[in-house]
């Protein structure tokens, strides 16, 4: 016990002191602090950095400004998005079409299907620009119907009236129907659906069912100024 005590006293006395602390103790504290700093830097480097925010297309603001909301039209409680101001601005109208053309050009889209009526405004322009045919999905009694034998459709469709296929759907304020000419699409074709917005989703679902009769297709939709894959 005495030898250990004497040894400790000798070691402590042998170490030079600065401001009441041993130089060895200060060096140890500095070394420990440096080690912790190195660990902190390593941990910070290991934390994944968030991806950089995507640049917002400046054209989108002009498009948004060109759409006005009309409350309670066509009936109470409906918020109607009017694109008339957008159409009256040629530059903004072009921007709206160009954004979608840039997205879908070169993607082997064979047909663009536009839902009546606003799908008829944007759909043909997009179809022409990407080199695709345009398929109008029309409201009832707008497409000419020719009586043909039912046997022509026996194997793949039971909801055919002449040369027109029909699909009924539910709206926010009632029911409606979409129609398409038989033969407008071919097996395996990629189809782009163009509509303006989704409320209940009834119109879009009807269009998908219509285009999916009798074929299963690759579908993509343009809705609310966005590109939504299905």
Mean pLDDT across the stretch 160-186? 79
Residue 174: helix, strand or coil by DSSP? Answer: strand
Task: Kindly list the domain boundaries of the chain, sorted by start residue.
Answer: 15-47, 109-229
115 within 8 A of 193, measured Cβ to Cβ = yes
Residue 64: helix, strand or coil by DSSP? Answer: helix
Q: What does the mean pLDDT of the chain come to?
A: 74
pLDDT band at 112 (very low <50, low <70, confident <90, very high): very high
Whether 58 shows a pLDDT value over 60: the answer reads yes
What pLDDT, on a 0 to 100 scale, did the predictor assign at position 114?
A: 93
**Domain 109-229, CATH among 3.40.220.10, 1.10.150.120, 1.10.357.10, 3.40.50.2020:** 3.40.50.2020
Mean pLDDT across the stretch 133-159? 66
Residue of 162 and 85 predicted with greater confidence: 85
Report the percentage of the chain scoring pLDDT > 70. 62
What pLDDT, on a 0 to 100 scale, did the predictor assign at position 22?
A: 54
Note the pLDDT tens digit of each residue in 19-46. Answer: 555 556 667 777 767 766 666 666 555 5
Tokens of 142: 């707008």
pLDDT band at 148 (very low <50, low <70, confident <90, very high): very low
Extract the runs of DSSP E, i.e. beta strands, from 24-182: 68-71, 79-82, 111-115, 133-137, 160-161, 164-171, 174-181
Whether 47 shows a pLDDT value over 80: the answer reads no
Residue of 97 and 146 predicted with greater confidence: 97
Mean pLDDT across the stretch 147-166? 52
Mean pLDDT across the stretch 83-91? 94
Whether 52 shows a pLDDT value over 50: the answer reads yes
Residue of 132 and 198 predicted with greater confidence: 132
Residue 88's contacts (CB-CB under 8 Å, 6 or more residues apart) are none
Residue of 155 and 115 predicted with greater confidence: 115
What pLDDT, on a 0 to 100 scale, did the predictor assign at position 157?
A: 45
pLDDT band at 217 (very low <50, low <70, confident <90, very high): very low
Whether 164 shows a pLDDT value over 90: the answer reads no
Mean pLDDT across the stretch 66-88? 90
How many Cβ atoms sit within 10 Å of the Cβ of residue 120?
A: 15
What pLDDT, on a 0 to 100 scale, did the predictor assign at position 166?
A: 86
């Amino acid at each position: 016990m005495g030898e250990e005590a004497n040894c400790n006293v000798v070691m402590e006395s042998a170490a030079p002191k600065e401001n009441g602390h041993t130089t060895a103790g200060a060096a140890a504290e500095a070394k420990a602090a440096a080690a912790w700093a190195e660990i902190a830097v390593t941990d910070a480097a290991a934390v994944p950095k968030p991806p950089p925010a995507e640049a917002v297309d400046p054209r989108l603001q002009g498009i948004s400004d060109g759409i006005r909301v009309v409350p309670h039209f066509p009936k109470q409680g409906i918020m109607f998005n009017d694109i008339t101001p957008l159409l009256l601005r040629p530059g903004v109208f072009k921007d709206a079409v160009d954004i979608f053309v840039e997205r879908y050009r070169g993607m082997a889209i064979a047909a663009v299907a536009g839902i009546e009526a606003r799908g008829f405004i944007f759909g043909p322009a997009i179809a022409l620009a990407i080199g695709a045919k345009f398929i109008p999905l029309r409201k009832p009694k707008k497409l000419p119907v020719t009586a043909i034998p039912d046997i022509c459709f026996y194997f793949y469709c039971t909801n055919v009236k002449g040369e027109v296929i029909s699909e009924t759907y539910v709206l926010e304020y009632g029911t409606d129907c979409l129609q398409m000419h038989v033969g407008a699409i071919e097996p395996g074709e990629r189809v782009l659906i163009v509509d303006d917005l989704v409320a209940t989703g009834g119109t879009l679902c009807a269009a998908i069912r219509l285009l999916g009769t009798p074929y299963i297709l690759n579908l993509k939709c343009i809705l609310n100024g966005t590109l939504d894959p299905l």
